[in-house]
Amino acid sequence: MKTRRELSKLALSLLLCTSPMLSPKAFAQEQPRLYLGLTPGHTADISARKIAEALRTQLRLSYRVENKAGDMTRMALKAFREDPGADAKMILTTSDEKYPSVSDLVLVAPIGQVFSRALGPLEFGLYADRQMPAAKVEAIRGVVEQLVTTGVIPPN
């Protein structure tokens, strides 16, 4: 039979071994991202942040805007495609032929024209991975369309 001291040592060693598994990070789910291939402060960035806020307040979906500017949105698309959160991640980008293709993604909602200094006005849209559930796409589409029709996005 084990003594109290031995049992205490055993309990302490078990606690130390499992403590990394009990940390808050072990249970926290990563916040889904809304990627954008432009710098903070750009009109598309403002639109992305307004979309994220509306999704949080109306659908209780908390998105973090992730600016990945560079190489004509290639950096953002690369980060988007490497993100394992296929059923939640989204990207705000253009389908213009001068930019990387988004033909493998689902258009959640068209946003409207966003001005590019290099190329002038471009049609932007909110896109998702094909693994995002259709009901979620439809719910997000409704929120975004409301923002577009009321003139909240894109900002002028």
Q: Is the CB of residue 108 less than 8 Å from the CB of residue 128?
A: yes
Q: Which 3 state secondary structure label does DSSP give 63?
A: coil
Residue type, 95: S
CA dist., res. 37 & res. 69, Å (int): 4
Task: Provide the pLDDT for residue 24.
Answer: 43
Q: Are 126 and 92 in contact (CB under 8 A)?
A: yes
Which pLDDT value is given to residue 145? 96
Pairing of strands 64-67, 33-36: parallel
| pLDDT tens, the chain, 156 aa long | 557 666 556 555 555 555 444 444 443 457 899 999 988 998 889 999 999 999 999 999 999 999 999 887 899 999 999 999 889 999 999 888 888 889 999 999 999 887 777 777 888 999 999 999 999 999 999 999 999 999 999 875
CATH topology for 33-149 is D-Maltodextrin-Binding Protein; domain 2 (3.40.190)
C-alpha to C-alpha distance for 31 and 28, rounded to whole angstroms:
9
Where are the chain's structural domains?
33-149
pTM assigned to the model: 0.78
